[in-house]
Structures are given as C-alpha cells and as structure tokens.
Structure 1
Amino acid sequence: MNYRKSVLSAAIVTCLGFTAHAQAQDAPPAQEATELDTVIVTGIRGSMEKSLDTKREANSRVEVVTAEDVGKLPAHNVADTLQRLPGVNISSSSADEGGFDEADRVSLRGTSPSLTQTLINGHTVGSADWFVLSQGNNVGRSVSYTLLPSELVSSVEVHKSSQAKLPDGGTTGSVNIITRKPLQFPDKITLEGSIGVVNAEQADSTDPQLAGLFNYRNDDGTFGVMVQAFSQKRELRREAQEIPGGFFQIGATDAAATTNPALVGVWAPGLLGSTLFEQTRERKGGLIDVQFKPNDSLTLGLSSFRSDMDANNYNRNFMLWGGNFARAQAPDAGYVVKDGVLTQATYTGVAGRDYAVYDMIYREATAKSSYTTFDADWQINDNLTSRFQVGTTSGEGSTPRQFIAEVTVGSGGGASWTSHGNSAPLDWSVGGDISPAGVTSFGTWGNQQVTAKDDEDWFTADFTQYFNSGVLSSIDFGARYADHTREAQSPEGASPGNIWAALQNGATASYPSGFAGNIGGNFPRNLWYFTPAALKDAIINNSTWLSDNDGPTGRHNYGGEWKVEEKNFAAYVQANFTGESWSGNVGLRYVDIDQDINSYQAVSDPANADVSSLFGQWIRVFTNNQHSRVLPSANLKFNLSDDLVFRFAASQTQTLPDFSALGASSWGSDLNRTGGGGNPNLNPVVSTNFDANLEWYFVPRGLLSIGAYSMNLKDYVAFGTQRQMLFSELTNQLEEYLVSVPINSNGKVTGVELVYEQPIGENFGINANYTYADGSTAHTWANGSNDLLGTSKNTYNVGAYFENESFGARVSYTHRSSFLIGLSGANPYYQDDFGTLSAALSYKVNDHLSFTLDALNLNDPSITYYQSATIPTAFYSNGRQYYFNVRLKF
C-alpha cells in the first residue's frame, strides 16, 4: 500500500487557508437554482456571452462552450467545437487506423488524450472503438467522441485546473459534457427536430441525418420528461499512401549488405502502400431523462443514454514489399543514400521473387456506449444540500468477423522507389503481372473475433454546507466508489479451407478515378480489388468457425486477451472562500485504487502451459496493484477591478496508465517482425500543476487574456523496446519479434495561452487564441528524441462571425503543429502540421423554422505522418463534408 502526503499538499493547506465562493457548477440554495434553470440561450452572440459569463464567474480555470440553441453547437462535432478553445487539441484516431476527416479524441495542453478525462454530467461514460487495434492492442483511457452526437449537448466545460470535488482521473484536466434536463425548459411542451443530409465530397455520397426532441413539463414544474433520438449515416472514403511499420535498417548479415557493405545500417521502406479505405458509419440512439419534485426540497432524476454505431469498413493496400527483397538483393548501380536513408533505388527482377503484396481487409465492426443514472438532489435544510447518484455505464467495441485476403504479385518483375523526404509521397512502382492472373500465393489471416468491453458501476454522495457570514462561504465534502472493468476478448476464429479456389474468379472492381490525386506522388493507382461480397462469400463458405468450446483444437487467441479490474474509492473535502474582491477554494481528495490485471504469456513447452489452442500455448499472469494518494488542490481568483481578473491554481492530479499498457499480452506482426505488449507493473501518472491567468473583460462579449501553466509528470508512460519470442501464425512456432513495451519515465509540459475575443458593433465579432506547449520526457526514443506524446508546440485558432435577427455566419481556421503520435513498429512517428477551415451558415425564417449549413475541411487538408525529416509514414486525403439541416421548433 502506497500512501503519500506531498510537500505540495502541506504547503497548500498551510499557506492557502482560503479560496472560492461557489464556482460555476457549485449548487446555490435550491430556490435560486430553480430561477436560473429557466434561462435559455440562443444565437451566436448569446452563446458567446453566456460562455464568457460562466468562465468569468468560475473560481477555477475553466473554458465553456454553450450551444447556440437546442442541438446547435458552434460545430457539427463536439470535438471540433472544443478544438477552438485555447489549450485544447484534437486528433482523428486512437491507434494505428490513420488520419480521418472527423475529430475523435480530445487532449489538453500538449499531452496525450489518455491524460484528459471526459465526463457526461459529471460522471464517467463507458467508451468503445470500432477499429480492431483500438479494441485490443492499443486501448487508452480516452473517450471516442464519434459516439457522442452534438444534438445532445447543452454546454461543455473544459476544466484546466483541478478541484477536490471533481472526479479524479484527468491528469491534465477534464471535459464535462452537460445535457439538458426536462425541468429547464420554459414551456409545457417542446417539440424540436432536424431533418438533413451530409454530403461527403470524396466519397461522392449524400446520406440522411435525423434528430428529434420531445419535452414535457407540467404547469407546477414538478414533473418533466425529455426524449431525444438520433439516426445518422455517412460514408467515408480515404485515399492514401501508407508505409505500414515504417522503414527498417538493412543488417550486416543481410545478403544485400554482404555484396554492398555501404548499405549496412541504411534505412529502407519495408512496405509502400497505395491505400483505399471506405466505410459506412450508421449511428443511432437517444437519451431519456425524467425529473420529479415531490416537494420543494427534493428532486429525483432518472437518465438513460445509448449510442450504437455500425462501422463496417474495407481497406485495400497494394504494397511494394521492400521487406521481402531489399534485404535479399542489392539495388542496381546508381542508387542514392542520403542521411542514412536509401532514397532512390531500382531492383532488377529476380525470377521467383515477389515484389508486391496486396492486403484486402473487409471488417464488420460496431461500437456502443450507454449509461443509466438515478440521482436525488435533497436540500436537507436552508444551509445544507446534498446530491446522491448511482449509475452504470458500458461501452463495447466489436469486430465479430474479419474477411481478409493477402496475395503476392509482381513475381520477378522488379521494383523501384524515389523518396522526397517527409513532405511528399514516394514515387514507386513494381513490375511483373499485378492483375488477379499474376497472383503467386494466397493467404488469409486475422479472421478472428475481437471484442472490447468497458463497464463501470458507481455511487456518489456529495454535500455542500453553506455559511451566512465570514470569508468561509461553504464546504463541499463527499465520497465516490466505482467498480471498473476493461477487457479484450478473442474467443473465436476461422480455420481457412480452400478459399482461393472460390475467390480467384470472384467479382472485382477498380480503384476510383482520380484516386489520391490530392496528395500527389507517382505510384500505382489503376488497381483492382475483390468486391466485399466476393471476399466475404468465399471466406464464409470455405472456413470453419471454431468457438471456445473446441478447446485446444480451436482458434481461441489467448494472446489477444486481457482484463483490467479497478475498484476506486475516493473521499474529498473542499473549503470555498469569498472576500470583498477575491474568492477561491482549497481541498484534498483521497484516492484508493485496487487493481487486478489478468493477461497471458507465450511459452514454447505445452507441458508448462495453462491454456493452449491453434495459436500456441500460454500461461496465465495475475498482477495486483494498490495505489493510495492524497491529491491537494487550490484555486484563487482576484477581481483586480470591475473588468480585470487574476487567477492562480496549484494541484496534484493522477491518471492510471492506459488499459492496454497494463494488460495487453505481447503481439506481433509477421510482415515486419515488430509488435507491442503491456506492463502490469506500471505506476499511475501523477502531475504537479501550476496555473496563472490574467483576464480583461474590456467590453460585453470581449476578452483579452494571457496565462501560463506547468505540469510536472511523474511516472509518465513512455515506450521502450525489447526482443521477445512470440507465436507466429505463419510458421506455427515461436519467433523473435522487436516488441514495444510501456515503461514509467518522467515528463513535463510548460506553456502559454493567449485569448482575444472582440465584438464589432452589434452584429460582427472576431476571436483568436494561441497556445504554446513545450513538452519533453526523460525517456529517449529510438530516434534519439525526448518528445512527449501529443505535444504540439504551437496551436492557434482564428475566427469571425456575423449575426442579425435572421441570418448567422461563422468561419474559423484551426492549426496544430507537428506532434508525436506513438510507435510505428518500434519507431516513433509523428503527425505533421495540420490546419482545417470550417464555416457555418444559418437562416431563421421564423421562430419555428430555420436552415443551417455546416461545411468542414473546406481547405481539403492532407494529413501527413512521418518517422523523420527523410522518412515519411503516411499521406491521407479525406475530402470535404457538408451538413445541411432543416430545423423545426414547436
């Protein structure tokens, strides 16, 4: 048991024995709250004013986005909305699925998304991902925003400084998504809905978008019920050049180096891909919320939310197979090596040698998220209020079937490539017959069911004692207990039969005309592929799907399974203070975590195995960790004048390591002999945080602010590499892989935030913000850098709006500089500078009818990944998206 009270906590308690009257979300006496609940904010100007008012009145460092109207955030996607706030970064993926057109993860102040906690109405939400690697091998603690439609949101709070009463788990801060409540609506009956379409320019598809709301509130305001529903579909098409696994180094013992010693240690592409990804996302669900006030001092609430997304997808990757020939054969004379990279090479064909490999992967995929909560707000007496909540939440991501064909082509035809650094795709080609008739071998792999489950049950009890005199305005205290389970399952797979005999004459189709024209480069584009139906039928009709009941002869992938169980008890006390021109709070939160981790380790001798199947033999590994800690926090706010506010905050915060970092069994990729795994002995990340900010509210809806922050991350999770023996499905035996393994290190981030918001006359306005983040870790990556995951040194947003009684328009541009994503194989890789332009138009015919048009990615940006200045990793193009909606209100 590890129990510590830090020097910082003692200093805060001793020196800061004062701070804050109620922050924005502190509950005042019930009679005041009832009056405030009737305020409804509409329009761009109204939402900006409400957001600034909430930010100004709060005692902690908080950013707020308020919906312009029911179901109308300033952007179609919740994460896209948040990225316009200072200190907020977004990314479009959680693992190795590559860059997409929609924001999916949110992070704060130059850190990874796992260090930012996302809550809904102050409680956790079970999350899930549709991508198979995010379901098993790379599972963080962040929440997928693709399951959270913007229509449900009333406002979003981004907490940058901690308070004792906030749930622990967000080292760098937390995002709290707030939904509407039935008794907040001013009218007895409210009916609203939107009927619209989304047009994906690159996918050349237009699909329906439907959402509706019904709310009933009785005349006495003692009972209300709200029902919201949504059904939204959209098509995606991503066109790319990918270099899966990155570049590799030619070894001294490789045949190419024995004839050309100058090639020893030179980097070459293992795979160069011409990649077409298509997906259909269908999201359906809704929210039901019921409130009942049996008397003036008690409000009961029941809320239930569910979001289900079908996300079937087809990825085709036709690849030059450098890993198959660049070690075995030296390039022709005239090759070029620059900065240790083989930037230009031509290989004369060798009979019987394959120069290309082609993967066609069709996956059925789903992602689900849900929660149910019951809460009671009880005003015990005039000065003591309480809130009790019991809830359950669940997330599930599943890939029940994978239909995969891998063929080799280009036999004896040779290959060539020319690299242009990380700023442009490689030019490459392969010779020989690359048509279906030129297939030299066929394989199917990974036809394995993968399911990820994320469940939590919790109970909270919160109290506030108000005082009528003195600087101590109130005391918050309470406790929370949560039982959380995250697991990856892979119990069933398929033993392939003679699939190729059925597939080789199956229906084919061609890559779209103009494929990858937006990213440039000269590489194969006029390519064929088996249709999803042909691929699926051939595999289903010629495979034996085996379940767990088949025992040692079955395809139960124990190596892809793990489970993390966490029991979390927390208790807190927070004192809130107010003076004539100052306010603030100081508090302590005690956290006790009991963690059980179950995983599997590969062994070569069946006699030593606990379990076995066609995938090999394993022993079970059980680890128990216990972590106890006191987390102090303090926030100070000084009203230097009527329009000038200064804030200071200090705290310690904690986040547990990613679930897969703790639990994942080691896994490997046979194409490049690299892989990853977990480390159950990781410590939590503990951050010591300081924050200062000066805010000048020089006019209504106007703000000029400057702030600085620092985060000292103890036991930050980085990744090292080691050699491990893992089971290979290709050879049916243990093989050596270079595996990335999470390790504890230390890290730090310091930065500056600047904000400017200015109304111009009654109808116009502009806004801009800039964030500088300098992050580093004590860990040295394989490329010699000390970069912190997720740190973009420079992030900025600029925007402008116009609004009158009928017409509204908004345009914004967001830019984020390069940042470290993670490891590609064993090599660190980065996302390059990225900027996106969006616009929104609205026209209000009357109080009942309006039209909106949201345009995303108007600049049609490419997303570029790279390993170094001379080694690219991927180039993605997703195209523009347009959302048109007719909004009805009754």
Structure 2
Amino acid sequence: MTEMQTVCGTSRVCDRALALKSGASIMVLTLLAAPQIAFAQANPAAAQPSANAQVPSGGAVVTEAEAATATPQEAAGAQDIIVTGIRRSLQSAQAIKRNSEVVVDSISAEDIGALPDRSVTEALQRVPGVSISRFSAGADPDHFATEGSGVVVRGLTYTRSEINGRDSFSAGNGRGLSFADVPSELLGGVDVFKSPSADMIEGGIAGTVNLRTRVPFDSNGFTFGATLENNYGDFVKKSSPTLSALVSDRWATGIGDFGLLGSFVRSQVRSRADSVQISNWGARVLTADGRLLQPLDANNVPNEGTTVYVPRGAASRSQEFNRTRYGYSAAGQWRSLDRSMTATAQFLRTDSRENWTENSIEVATDNVLAAGDSQPFPGTSFTFDDDNAFTSGLITGPNGFRADSQPGGDGRTPENGLQSNNIARGNQSRFVTNDASFNFKWQPTKRLGISVDYQHVWSTVKVTDLTVWGTTYQNADIKLNGNKPAFVDFVPVANKGTSNYFANPNYTDPSNSFYRSAMDHIEDSEGNEDSARIDLDYSFPEESWLNSVRVGYRFSDRQNQARSSAYNWGVLSEIWGGGAPDPANPGSNLPGAGGGPVWFDRPIDGNPATRTTGATAPQEAFLYENFFRGQANDPSNGGRLFYPGSQLQNYGQAIQQIQQIAQEWRSYTSTNSGADGWVPLAQRSGVLAGTPFRPGEVNPVSERNNAAYVSVRFGNDLSNGWDVSGNVGVRYTETKRISSGFFAFPNQSFNCVAPTDGSAISRFCSLPAATQAAAALFQNGALTPNDVELTYDYFLPSVNLKLGVGGGLQFRVAFAKSVAPPDFLLTRSYYNVSLNTSDQTILFNNGPVAIFDVGNPFLKPVTADNLDLTAEWYFSNVGQLTFSAFAKNLHGVQSVGTQRQTFTNNGASFDAIVTTPVNSDETGKVRGFEVGYQQTYDFLPGFLSGLGLSANFTYVKSSGVSQQQLDPNDPNVAAGIISSVDTGRLSLQGLSKYQYNIGPFYQKNGLELRAAYNWRSRNLLTIRDVIAPNAPVYAEKYGQLDASIFYAVTPEIRMGFQGVNLGKSITRTSYVINSDLLTRPRNWFINDRRFTFSVRASFK
C-alpha cells in the first residue's frame, strides 16, 4: 500500500487532495495566504477518528472532557507513518480540537516542552483567546511577575481549573489552582474547554483549564525520559538547574494488564525586574499667579484657576526572584482481560517555593500630601500638555512640623524636600497541592457503562512578608518621554532651610537616612476537598441517531481555612515625634537626642535613655547596578542605605532587631503623638493564642455541592455525505456555603498627654474631648460572631452541535448557561471597624473615620449565557484554518462598591468608608472572535519542506458594569485620597481587545527550530489600585518573542537551546487620572532574557 493510499481512507478526501495537488506549483507563491495547498501532504501520522467516534475500547463511561483528549496509542497500524517532535504535538492538539463535541483548544507535552515555559501559565499564553497577567496581583500593579501569573480566557477571569477532569485548587482566599506553581514538565497536556457539556463540572464561564498528567496506558510498554537543563537570566546574571525524569511500564498477566508510572521534576528560575514609576497623579488648581492649590480650600470652597494634573512624586525599584518548583506524580492502572474493566489510581503533588527581595525608592506621597503637597521648586515651573497634564518639572514640597528642630534637637530634617520611602522587602512563599484520586470504569454489558470516581485534595499555603522603610529627602526631577521610560532623578535638597541635612553629601552615608516604618504579613492557609461521582452511559446501535444517554451525580465537600493577616504597617520613627531631649543631658546635641526620627547612624539598644550605647541597626548599601539595563536613568544618585534584604528572610531574628528601633522612638512618643508604633503581628492585641492572627484574619468557609446531570449524545451520517453529531443536556447544581466571621471593634489606645517639649500635638489630640472619649468607647474590643449561611442552585442547560460537510470542513454551534462562584476572599464574613486617626484623615474628614475593605458573605455566583459559532477546515493532519465567534451575557458580575456608612458601638457612632464586593444588577457583555491557522509545508522542495507555521488572532470587546462610588463632593474624593472614576465606562478587567500569536517552526533531519511571538493590546489591570487614590490602572500593549532550537544527536537524545523574552520587552502601565478616563504613565518594567541549555533523553 502506498503512502497516498494510506491517507485516502475516504474517497471524497482523496479527490479533494489530488485536485489541489495539481495546482501546488502555482500556489507556492501565496502559501501563507492559501493554506489549502496542504492537501498535497501525503504522510500523516495516523488517521483521524470519525466525527462520531465513541468511547475508546476498555472504557465504560468517558466524559466529554476525556473523550475530547483521548489519544489511544494502540490504534496506529503498521502502515501508518509516525511523526515526532513539533509536528506530533501539533497533530495531537489538532485531533483533540477536531474530534471533540465541545469547543476546545489543547497543548500537548511536546508543545509545552518546545518552548522555555517553566510553568503552565507561560504555556497557556500560546492558546487562542488565552492571555496572562505580568503582575503578581491585579490590585497591586507595582509588583511584577517575571513568569506571568493569572490566566484570562476570552477576556474573562472566571476560569475553572482542573487536574484530570477533577477539582484542583491552592489553599487560601482564592478558589482555583495557581497555574504558575505547576511545573510544565509534569504534564501530558493542557486543554482549554470553551463551551461546556452537561457532564462537565460547573464553575468556568470563561472556560475550563484541564491539566492532564500521564498514565501508564498512554504508552505501549516501557518508557523512560529525563531532562537536564541549565537556566540563565542575563539581567540577574545567575544560573539555576532543572531536572526531570519519568519512568513507566506495563505488563500483560493472566489477570489483565498492569501499568505503573512515576515522575519527578525540580525546576528553578532566578530572575530580576526593575521599574520606574510616576506616583499618585492628582487634580490641582493652577492659579493665574502660578500657585498650585488643592481643588477645595479649607472651607470646602472650590479654588479658582485651571485644573491641572500633577504627580506627587516618583519611584524606582529593583526586585530579585528565586522560584523553585517540585513536582511528583504516580499512577497505577489495571485493565481486565476482556477489557471491560479499567481501574486507575493517581497521585500528584506540586510544591512551589519562592523567595524574592525588593529595594525601592519611592516618594512618600502620603506625607507629601499631608505636609502641604508637591510644588515646583522655587524659581521653576511645571510644563503641561494639551490636556493640562504634567510633562516635566522639578518637584519639591514642605515638611511641616519637625520634632528635631525643637530645642536640644539636632536639626537634621530639612524644611523642604520630598520625603521618600526607601523600602527593603523580603518575601517567602510556599504553595503545596496534593491530589489523590481513584477511578473505576466497568462495562457490564455491550451497551451499559459505569464509572465511579473518588478524589481527595489537600493544599497548604504559607507566606511570610517583611518590609522596612527608611527615609531620605530629595527633590524629584521628572521628564516624561512618551511611551519610553520617564527620566527621573532624585536630586539632593537645595531648599532645606536652616537644616544641617546632607552635611555629608552622599545618600549612602547613614547620617542622611532614618528608619520610618515596618510592615509584616503572614499567611498560613489550608484547604481540603473530598468529592465522589458516579456516571452511567447507555449506548444505542450504531445505525441509530441516538448514540447514548448519560446520567450522573457528583458530591463534593470543601473545607477552606484561609489565615491571612492584614499588612501590619506601623511607624518606627518620624519627624513629627520623638519627645523631649535626652533626660540625662537636656542640652545635648547627640544624634537624635532632641526627638525626631531614629537616624541610621544612631546606636540602637531598645532603650532611649542610653542613646550612645549599642550598635547601629543592620544596614547595607544597594547601588542599583545596571539599573533598567541602562535604558532608563538611575534615579538613586549613587544608591541608598536599606535594612539588609538577606536578614529580612529570617523573620524571627529580624523582628527582634526592628523592635529595638521602634522602642528607641516609641518610648518618647507614645504619650505625645497618639502613635503606638510598630509591633510584630503576634504581639498585637486581640490575636488568637499561639498565632499571629486576629479572629477577623481567619476566614473559614465550608462549601458542599450536589450536582446531577443528564446528557443525550446523538449523531449520524446524512444521505448527502454530511454528518451531524452533538449533545444536549442539563446540569442541576446546588451549593451550600457557610462563611464564619465577626464584627470587630478592636481596642485602640488614644493617649493624649500634653507634650512638655513645646512640640505640636497630633490632630487627633486636638479634637474636642468629647470626640476623643467617643473614640475610646467605640474601640472597646467588642467581637460579635457573624456566621452567614447561603444556599443557591441553578439549572444549567447546554447544547453542542457539530456538522461535518466533507473535505475536512465542519461547523459548530454551542449554547450553554454557565456559572462561576466567587473567590473565598470576597465572601469573608468579617468587619474590622478600626478608626483611622492619621493627621491626613482627620484633616479632610474633621474627625477620625474608619476606612476598610470587607467581604460579602451574601455574594452570589456570576452567571452567563454563552453562544459559540465555529467554522473549521482541517486540510491535513497538521493543517487547519478555523474561525470561532462567541458572545457572552454576564449577570451578577462581581463589582466593587464604596460607600460611606455609619457604625454604632458601645453608644458611640462614627462614619466609615467601606469597600465591598457586590453583584451588579447590570448585564456585562462580551463579544469576540478567534482565527487560527497552522500548516506544515511538506510540499516544498528539499530542506524547505521542514517549514511550518502556527498562528492565531483574537478580538474581544466588552462592556463593563458600573460600581458604587463615593459622592464626588465627598472630602476624600476632593482631596484625591479616593478616586471616583465611573468604572462602568471601562472594559471588563483583564480584557485585551486584540491578541495574537505567531509561531513559525522548522523540523527536518533531526533539527527543530521554533519561534513564538505573543502580543496583546491594552487591558484594564485593576479597577481599583491598592494604593491611594485607588484609581483604575491599565496594562499597556505588550509583545514578547521566545524561541528554541533542538537537534537529535541520536533517536533517543536531543540537545537544545531555548530563549525567552529575546527582545527585552518593556511592560508599561498607566493611571486613569480623571472622570473623562484620561490616562497618564504609571510604571515601566524590564526583566531578564532567560536562556536554557537542555539535554533530553527518551527510551522506549
């Protein structure tokens, strides 16, 4: 039998192929525009299964997800031509897409390994309609993720995560699995289901991402594979190893087939990211005489002049990351001699550990605003563009009251100059997920199949985060440069007045820095789930239109205990406190003797009465070498002094040292300023015994789900040669959720003893005595349980219809109602009503106000009506041109509401500005389409026949929903503390309007080359920045080029080189600065190019 005869399993395919082959010579000239020439190919690896393919032999019940991804190895005949490498992976993914009854896109293990994707997140960005975030958290756009983080499918984050078709999650306040924590080497493939069927577990509106691990029966016999790699980051200039191994075998015995598999991976990546930032844009009024004023005067009357938009400062930061992933998997299988029964036991463990450090210099915009706000340096002026937005200028500002200028003080704090936060931060995290499962399939009769499945998942998350702020004073010279990184230079203060600051003109001199504040955060979460399901399938004769009827029931019980502390910020020392001079020597002029902050050159022993004894606190100079790869100015002017990042990684030792700094200052200030200073988490009042957590920081959620479905599968050939197949069904799901929490009014001390040194008292201590007394009554430590039970249920119908018209052309239509439950963080039942007594808050509210975020235990899932239409042309085993249009109407979209409310406790009442998630009454809409193309150009002559191309394009448009905002006249809005942008005019969060992937490749004579360029347009990163004024932040358009080259030294051993981010791409963000959605630059980020040398071995 010839190769052509092997291909021509059906005459209509052969006729089309032969007809097109005759015109191949002409169409070579337009090969990129005319993929139909691929019919000239004559050597596929294996025949495509029929459109109405049933369950593979030996299975009892196979869900749509399993059937879509079934790739039985034993079906290949002796005449079939076997392909390997890139072509094999593309062929496998195409077969899955073509034969599925639902809309799905896949990546095979070979495809994942063909590029330097160290995590599933990075691999998923190659799939049509899938994009990833480049930030650690959407609400914190100041911290970059060098390997990507969250996954967005078709512009939506409502994505369900699965492993082998079952639930999978990382413990904590989220709901799904952190894909970034899963080593890509551990998987056999990844499937992204974009339309559901009734037998699929509910939870994914955007889609369901299913991670497939390998099992022994995937192979015909013994298999061993191993990979050894060295990863190098050219910015961090450090190397790290990766090692993975897999062994699998199967045996035929007198009682059936047995198989065992085990695999292990250790993957490490080291990287660095630098950034330049323009901070805290705000509206100001420029008067006719050139003064820069607040929008409202002290009497809340609008100032006259031109509204302009001015930043309050700038920032620069450098982060270094060290992530190590461990993965373990094991599987055992048994199949009976008559192939009617199959048992599969699987275990998977992912263990991701990351340490990162950060050194940042950022203008302390909170203090700048409170002290009188930013101003042009005397004798200079700002420049503005046509939108009255700042473009350049030398920014300075006053420093208000300074304790060290009092008698006996050292007078070191300058009268003007921007106070900075010189931040040293250390973070350690560990995410562990374990998944154990057992499945038994039995086919007791020819037509009846039964599947029983059980799974137990348990997961832990541990995070320790410690930050120390130092302070220097400088002015900020800023020049915007379009899309390029802004010029930022922190220049020494030249308008310092009578201060002796910067007498030693070097920012790494300890006399020019003081310790400002500290912050710690700890998470210790755990979660587990037990689930069981039973499915029955009854099949009908092949000639029947009715193929099978499936029914099933699933029960799951998930217990999640998220223990996540607040970010515990507290002052170490400040310019506005410090008490009286040294009691033993009132006239002394020792460093820090007369109050004020604790400078880096001051001896520290925790006892302010002994100011000349002890050693200075730990400190180190960070010089920002090769800052931003030289593509941006180094703003630091020779670096800064920081608390050592290496010591921040040792939490227990570091907090003892930091407490000594706090004690040096707090002992003098606690009776004069109302400030208690920083204490570690575990030493706060009201914590649970033996833990660092307060009751409200423990979020127990219990969730039980019962679901049942019925699905009818149908299909047959029509008289004209077309074929129709599909499924129709309905799923019923009921969920009972219990969120446990408290109403808490934590104890606060309000000490307002009159100072004896002539210093000014805090604004709180200047309030009427009745207000101060009411605050003490209000914050009495009351703790009232607040347990909320919510039950919701849904009927979820679904229809999937596929029409094949011959010649590899098929069409689909799919309709489904889907549901996505909220993250556990959003449903926490805890109100922590704690008054904010900062000078800034009291200034703009005429009294203390509680400002806090809360969960909503009554928050319901988002639901969606989904419609998919596709046209798919498969012109060879590695050749396709596909089009998919989709529409989604979203109901109950989770938005954020901010309101001013009044709380009463213990007879006292105060206002609070409360931000909480809510279900919107409006309908969110998503519309879009995807176009995909792939082809191997085997018909080209000679070495050119190894060429191929894979590409896809996605267009998505959405309309968002509005959010509850504070009244525009609220003093916190007018002061620029809180934004009032109408977010209903924004797109949905995470959605890029345009996105594409282009992946040319080459494979011939053992040589494999592949490039991949991924690009996405601007997307809304967060509707509410975590930093004041909490305005929306956009991530601007971004593209990245990756590539790989491999050569087969022998049939079993390949060596290769891979590169990621070869173009050294820069990531940009921008800020929404007014209600007209005017945006201006916020951040520029740059990170490593990563290079990997790899040796891979595979023996069968």
**Class of the TM-score when normalised by the shorter of the 2 chains:** 0.7 to 0.9
CA 1:116/1:321 → structure 2, altered by over 3 Å: closer, same or farther? Answer: same
Q: Structure 1 residues 192 and 251 mapped into 2: Cα distance closer, same or farther (>3 Å)?
A: same
Q: Deviations over 1:2-51 (max 9, x none)?
A: xxxxxxxxxxxxxxxxxx99878955554999992446973111221222
Under a length normalisation based on structure 2, what TM-score does the superposition of the two structures give?
0.71
CA distance in 2: counterparts of 1:347 and 1:43, whole angstroms: 60
Partner of 1:403: 466
Aligned residue among 529, 551, 576 for 2:713: 576
Any idea what SS the aligned residue of 2:632 has?
coil
Superposed displacement of residue 517, structure 1 = 3.6
Instruction: State the Cα distance separating 1:813 from its structure 2 match.
Output: 0.7
Secondary structure of the residue that 1:681 maps to in structure 2?
Answer: coil
Partner of 2:550: 476
CA distance 1:470–1:202, shift in 2 (3 Å) = same
Higher RCO (C-alpha under 8 Å, 6+ residues apart):
1
Partner of residue 640 from structure 1, selected from 790, 805, 808: 805
Tell me, yes or no, if the aligned pair for 2:152 and 2:991 is still in contact at 8 Å: no
**1: CA distance between counterparts of 2:492 and 2:297?**
23
* Residue 1098 (structure 2) pairs with residue 889 (structure 1): yes
Deviations 1:841-887 (A, max 9, x none): 11111122111322111111111111135432322111211122111
> Cα gap change, 1:482/1:326 in structure 2, threshold over 3 Å: closer, same or farther?
same
Q: 1:335 aligns with which of 349, 370, 382?
A: 382
Find the counterpart in structure 2 of residue 820 from structure 1. 1020
**1:118 match:** 161
List aligned pairs for 1:343-362, cutoff 5 A.
343-345=391-393, 346-347=395-396, 351-352=414-415, 355-362=419-426
Change (3 A) 1:548 1:125: farther
- Check if 1:867 corresponds to 2:1071: yes
Asked if 1 retains the 8 angstrom alpha-carbon contact of 2:516 and 2:572, the reply is no
The amino acid across from 1:347 in the alignment is: T
Secondary structure at 2:438 match in 1? strand
Partners in 2 of 1:253 and 1:736 — Cα distance? 22
Question: Which of 361, 371, 374 lines up with 1:318 in the alignment?
Answer: 361
Partner of residue 997, structure 2? 797
Letter paired with 2:707: A
2:250 aligns with: 217
- Map Cα deviations across residues 545-574 of structure 1 (whole Å, 9 max, x no partner): 675998569753334332332111111111
Structure 1 runs, 4 residues or longer, greater than 6 Å off: 20-25, 31-35, 254-260, 491-500, 604-607, 612-616, 666-674, 724-727
Unmatched 5+ stretches in structure 2: 1-48, 77-81, 285-292, 400-413, 494-501, 574-597, 606-614, 660-678, 718-722, 750-776, 842-850, 939-944, 966-979, 1073-1077
SS of the counterpart of 2:366? helix
**Cα distance between partner residues in 2 of 1:726 and 1:764:** 69
Alpha-carbon separation, structure 1, partners of 2:840 and 2:991: 28
Provide the C-alpha distance between the structure 1 equivalents of 2:73 and 2:780, rounded to a whole number of angstroms. Answer: 58
2 CA distance for matches of 1:173 and 1:676? 29
Q: Match for residue 131 of structure 1?
A: none
Q: 1:22 to 1:806 in 2, by over 3 A?
A: closer
Q: Who is 2:727 aligned against?
A: 585
Given that 1:91 and 1:104 are in contact with CA atoms closer than 8 Å, whether structure 2 keeps it comes out as: yes
What is the aligned residue count? Answer: 846
Shift of the 481–701 alpha-carbon distance from structure 1 to 2, 3 Å rule, reads same
Query: 2:252, 2:1068 → 1: CA distance?
Result: 57
Residue pair 2:518, 2:570 contacting (<8 A) in 1 also:
no
More displaced stretch, 845-854 vs 733-742 = 733-742
Q: Distance in 1 between matches of 2:708 and 2:742?
A: 35
> Which among 369, 381, 406 is matched to residue 433 of structure 2?
369
**SS of residue in 1 equivalent to 2:177:** coil
Say whether the 8 Å CA contact 1:447–1:494 is kept in structure 2. Answer: yes
Matched residue, 2:928: 751
- Structure 1 segment 655-804 matched on structure 2, within 5 A: 655-663=820-828, 665=830, 676-723=853-900, 739=915, 741-744=917-920, 745-761=922-938, 762-779=945-962, 782-784=980-982, 785-804=985-1004
2:955 counterpart letter in structure 1 = Y
2:477–2:489 Cα contact (<8 Å) kept? yes
**1:370-394, Cα deviation, whole Å (9 max, x unpaired):** 2111221222222111221111112
* CA contact 1:602–1:726 (8 Å) conserved in 2: no
74-83 or 277-286: which moved more? 74-83
The equivalent residue for 1:456 is 529
SS in structure 1 at match of 2:736: strand
Q: Distance in 1 between matches of 2:1003 and 2:449?
A: 41
**Letter aligned with residue 754 of structure 1:** V
Residues 80-106 of structure 1: CA deviation (Å, up to 9, x unaligned): 332222211122334426332213322
Q: Does 1:392 align with 2:465?
A: no
> Is residue 313–residue 362 contact of structure 2 (8 Å, CA) maintained in 1?
yes
Distance 1:582 1:118 in 2: 30
Distance 1:165 1:666 in 2: 39
Alpha-carbon distance between aligned partners in 2 of 1:764 and 1:447, rounded to the nearest angstrom: 54
- For residue 802 of structure 1, report the CA deviation from its aligned partner: 0.6
Amino acid at match of 2:806: S
CA distance in 1, matches of 2:1092, 2:617: 40
Distance 2:186 2:785 in 1: 43
2:127 is the counterpart of 1:64? no
Query: Could you tell me whether the CA contact under 8 Å between 1:140 and 1:659 is conserved in 2?
Result: yes
Contact 2:1002 / 2:1010 at 8 angstroms: preserved in 1? Answer: yes
Greater mean deviation of Cα atoms: 531-540 or 223-232: 531-540
Q: Any residues of structure 2 matched to 1:108-257 within 5 Å, and which?
A: 108-112=153-157, 115-127=158-170, 139-187=173-221, 189-220=222-253, 222-242=257-277, 251-253=294-296
Larger deviation: 865-874 or 176-185?
865-874
> Does the CA-based 8 Å contact 2:480-2:486 persist in structure 1?
yes
Q: Which runs of 5+ in 1 are unaligned?
A: 1-19, 129-134, 728-732
Give the match for residue 488 of structure 2: 427
- What residue in structure 1 maps to residue 1011 of structure 2? 811
Deviates more, 1:768-777 or 1:533-542: 533-542
Cα 1:245–1:370 shift into 2, 3 Å: farther
Q: Give the SS at the match of 1:680.
A: coil
Contact 2:312 2:374 (C-alpha < 8 Å) held by counterparts: no
Rg comparison, structure with higher value: 2
Code of the residue aligned with 2:951 in structure 1: it is A
**Could you state the TM-score of these two structures normalised by the residue count of structure 1?**
0.87
Question: 2:686 & 2:799 partners in 1: Cα distance?
Answer: 56
Secondary structure of 1:660's match? helix
